[in-house]
Amino acid sequence: MSSSQSVTAWTARTYSVYSTLSALITHPRILPIDTVTQLTLGAAVGEAVLGRRAGRRAALWGAVAGMTPDLDVLFGVFTSETTQLGIHRGLSHSFLFAALGCLAGGRLTAYIHAALDIGWRDWSKLWFWSLLTHSLLDAFTLYGTQLFNPFSDYPVALSTIFIIDPLYTLPLLILLLMALGHPPVARARRRLNAAGLIISSSYLLLTGANALHVRAQFTEGLAKNNIAHQRLFATPTPLNNILWMGIAESEDALYVGLYSLFDAESPTHFRRIEKNAALINPYQMHRPLRRLNWFSRGYYRATVENDEIFYHDLRFGRSDIWLDTDGLYIFSFRLLRDPNDPSQMVDFAQRTPAFALSGELLSRFWRRIKGDSTVIQYGP
């Protein structure tokens, strides 16, 4: 098998895992898909703060603290999906929660490890930095993180990195595991862990630079195609930071295009996606639709299937990775109307798309990452 075929096969296997899990784990009522990344980051931060004094307990409690904000999904068992969509990455991901939650976490950890000569203030520092870095990392993804809750519910979404990016997580994880193999006081242990944090943080900064470059390329491409737009959203496609998707909003439609850092020129083709706002205009003042508009930032499409209205958030892409003429939207919500009064919208239900990615599609995805735009199929 050639090296190109090996890479394609690896991409197919990895993306198949993504396609199977994404619709499930990113559901508002289920744990988020970036669990491994947040566990690793929390453990590395905990090791950096108290590893020398607490040994592996520091990494353990850093991982616990790093996962704590995402426990907000447990409220989804007791609330409507409308409520849960606003709770996830809400107060538990805020600066205020990091500032106050660290005090409770520090007290608890100091009590459990009372035999160690480590005060609650030092444990609180571990909790603070693990909680804070979790929220800051989430803010770099596209989902939206309410850093300023409860003073503002504005969802910060820099959208410079995909929710799973091996180039961020793997160096951090590998160097952390190598570090933990050394004694707590060993200089090599501190250097290895620090190297992992520096590499991952540098990569995160690189994604920000990529985002600025990509937005400029999409803006240029839209201008060349004489597409007037009001707003532009760009985000990397799954598992990489090379191929990006751009969504431009006009008055009544969205224009979607792809751009790879290996492309020789700015995007030349954009798909026009009708928003079909008329389908949901009667419900604009209803709480469920207001929540969906807040969550999607207005980058949506409405459709009708079997007399039911569906709301699709285009930011999360489609099952065809925008390479075919049609595909299933990853984030789709069925609008639930009151059976006794259809004019009233009472909630929504997220639909899990049933789809399987073929090896042929994944091969084309890999080629598109490398800058081959001929793999895209355009249609009406």
pLDDT for 71 equals 92
Domain-embedded: residue 110: yes
Q: Output the pLDDT for position 27.
A: 45
Confidence (pLDDT) at 33: 43
**188 and 69 within one domain:** yes
Same domain assignment for residues 235 and 353: yes
The residue from 180, 209, 238 where one domain ends is 209
Does 129 fall in a domain? yes
Block residue for tokens 């199929």: 377
Whether 194 and 258 map to the same domain: the answer is: no
- % of the chain with per-residue pLDDT over 90: 83
- Statement to judge: residues 145 and 277 lie in one domain: no
In a domain, 155, yes or no: yes
Those residues of the chain that have pLDDT short of 70 are: 1-33, 354-356, 379-380
pLDDT for residue 119: 96
Q: Which of 209, 239, 265 is the last residue of a domain?
A: 209
Q: What's the domain count of the chain?
A: 2
**Last residue in a domain, options 175, 209, 243:** 209
169 and 196 inside one domain: yes
What pLDDT was estimated at residue 73?
86
- Single-letter code of the amino acid located at 277: A
**329 domain residue, yes or no:** yes
**DSSP class per residue in 198-234:** HHHHHHHHHHHHHHHHHHHHHHHHHHHTT---SEEEE
- The two three-digit tokens of residue 313, written as one number: 């958030």
Same domain, 344 and 364: yes
* Residues 186 and 55 placed together within one structural domain of the fold: yes
Decide if 380 is inside a domain.
Answer: no
Residues 6+ away with beta carbon under 8 Å from 213? 261
Helix, strand, coil fractions of the chain, as percent rounded to 5: 50, 15, 30
Strand partners, 349: 334
Q: How far apart are CA 324 and CA 6, in angstroms?
A: 24
In whole angstroms, give the CA distance from residue 312 to residue 256: 14
* Residue span of the structural domain in which 175 resides: 3-209
Whether 51 and 88 share a structural domain: yes
Residues 114 and 19 in one domain: yes
Predicted pLDDT of residue 223: 96
Looking at the structure, tell me whether residues 201 and 217 fall in a common domain.
no
Residue located via tokens 């039911």: 308
Rg of the chain in Å (alpha carbons): 22
Residues 203 and 229 in one domain: no
pTM of the model: 0.89
Angstrom distance (rounded) from CA 4 to CA 80: 47
* 274 and 183 within one domain: no
At 298, which amino acid appears? G
The answer to whether position 44 is within a domain reads: yes
Q: Residue 2: what pLDDT?
A: 52
Asked if 125 and 53 touch (Cβ cutoff 8 Å), the reply is no
